[in-house]
Amino acid sequence: MVQTFPTMRLRRLRRSQVMRDLLAENTVTLNDLIYPIFVEEDLDDFAPVDSMPGVFRIPERKLDVAIKEIAAAGIKAVMTFGVSHNKDDTGSDAWNRDGLLARMIKRAKDAAPELMLISDTCFCEYTTHGHCGVIHDGDVHNDHTIENLGRQAVVAAEAGADMIAPSSMMDGQVHAIRSALDSHGLGAVPIMAYSSKFASAFYGPFRDAAGCELKGDRKAYQMNPMNGREALRESGADEAEGADMLMVKPAMPYLDVLTQIRQRSLLPLAAYQVSGEYAMIKFAAAAGAIDEARVMRESLGAIKRAGADLILTYFAMDIARDGF
Ligand SMILES: [Zn+2]
């Protein structure tokens, strides 16, 4: 029989901090976090990203120093984004064996081999137009782009990337990358698919950080923020194509999507707390409106509670330094 008041008193279990700690259903540790980093070529000093307080573009030539610091802080995994000075209309530097993407992966893995390196796999930081692939007749050409994604993934994995994370939202991208990796003897390299990536306004500060040249928008390939069922189809497709892990991006405005995918898939699930989510917390705290540390913990805890196994967050270093 279901107890009710006055027998049932839920406040009994909230009486002390020890009790609350013992009964916490979720927590966040460094084992849950992936730290996204921006690496820029031909840059001398760490460059602050104005729209993301506390985030810096790392100069390629100082990447080893930064990576050693990140590993020493206890971070387990990073996701790498290149800030390219060698852009063209296809983003070919991203599959050039001497290009920024390959160089930064090698340098980071040499500096801290134990740090898991997940390579964001897309073209928007490497194209002059800022779109995530090859443009034909004013639109990103799906099938040419996924061929190029396969090339990029092979170069990244051969340079030492531990995981490939395709983020361009092309149809068939997971299949194309899996086939390319497998045919190059890289069958052991897993794929974390950005399976539900929305055409979100929360990415604003990232474009600043990544030096993206995009004019227009990505609504013809990223998902409509109004849609939830479509995210389930995208996730199902990626799983069927061989994804080892799924992702929802952004995180906090899409917790319902995260929960629904968690209920339908047995794959590990990641969520990306994006630049705009981070910036809102930082700027609101700087304005005195909220307590930064508490809101950060609450936001990450909510993402875990909604179903994420892993969280990509710019707060990772803060947590490594100060605890959760
Ligand atoms: Zn992209």
pLDDT value at 213 more than 80: no
Å from CA of 20 to ligand 1 middle: 42
**Domain range for residue 290?**
27-322
| DSSP code at position 121 | E
Å from CA of 216 to ligand 1 middle: 13
Å from CA of 122 to ligand 1 middle: 5
What percent of the chain is helix, strand and coil (3-state, nearest 5)?
A: 45, 20, 40
Å from CA of 6 to ligand 1 middle: 56
Residue 211: pLDDT band by 50, 70, 90 thresholds? confident
- 52, 86, 124, 168, 240 from 90: Cα distances, Å: 28, 11, 9, 13, 28
Å from CA of 204 to ligand 1 middle: 13
Å from CA of 148 to ligand 1 middle: 13
CATH number for the domain harbouring residue 128: 3.20.20.70
The DSSP bridge pattern shows strands 116-121 and 163-166 to be parallel
Indicate yes or no: pTM above 0.95. yes
Residue 19 lies inside a defined structural domain of this protein: no
Å from CA of 16 to ligand 1 middle: 47
Phi-psi region of 175 (alpha: psi -120 to 50; beta: other; left: phi over 0): alpha
pLDDT value at 171 more than 90: yes
**Active site includes 87?**
no
Residue 8 lies inside a defined structural domain of this protein: no
pLDDT value at 76 more than 90: yes
Query: In the block, which residue shows the tokens 């040499």?
Result: 110
Return the pLDDT at 11.
96
Q: What angle do CA 275, 168, 244 make, to 5 degrees?
A: 95
Return the pLDDT at 212.
81
| Residue 34, beta-bridge partner list | 312
* Residues with Cβ within 8 Å of residue 255, at least 6 apart in sequence: 302, 303, 306
Return the pLDDT at 324.
87
- What's the rounded Cα separation, in Å, for the pair 89 and 318? 37
pLDDT value at 1 more than 90: no
Residues lining ion ligand 1 (Cβ < 5 A) are 122, 124, 132, 168
pLDDT value at 207 more than 90: no
Q: Write down how long the chain is.
A: 324
- What's the rounded Cα separation, in Å, for the pair 231 and 236? 8
CB 206 within 8 A of CB 232: no
Residue 187 lies inside a defined structural domain of this protein: yes
Residue 15 lies inside a defined structural domain of this protein: no
Residue 17 lies inside a defined structural domain of this protein: no
pLDDT value at 141 more than 80: yes
Å from CA of 292 to ligand 1 middle: 30
Residue 118 lies inside a defined structural domain of this protein: yes
Residue 272 lies inside a defined structural domain of this protein: yes
Specify the number of domains making up the chain. 1
* Residues with Cβ within 8 Å of residue 210, at least 6 apart in sequence: 38, 81, 83, 124, 125
Residue 157: pLDDT band by 50, 70, 90 thresholds? very high
Catalytic one of 76, 87, 109, 249 = 249
Q: Which helix (H) or strand (E) holds 61?
A: none
Return the pLDDT at 216.
86
Catalytic one of 76, 87, 109, 197 = 197
Task: Write out pLDDT tens, residues 80-130.
Answer: 999 999 999 999 999 999 999 999 999 999 999 999 999 999 999 999 999
Residue 215: pLDDT band by 50, 70, 90 thresholds? confident
C-alpha closest to that of 121 among 182, 57, 164:
164
- What's the rounded Cα separation, in Å, for the pair 106 and 157? 10
Residue 10 lies inside a defined structural domain of this protein: no
**Active site includes 197?**
yes
Å from CA of 131 to ligand 1 middle: 6
Residue 295: pLDDT band by 50, 70, 90 thresholds? very high
Task: Write out pLDDT tens, residues 224-257.
Answer: 999 999 999 999 999 999 999 999 999 999 999 9
- What's the rounded Cα separation, in Å, for the pair 202 and 77? 23
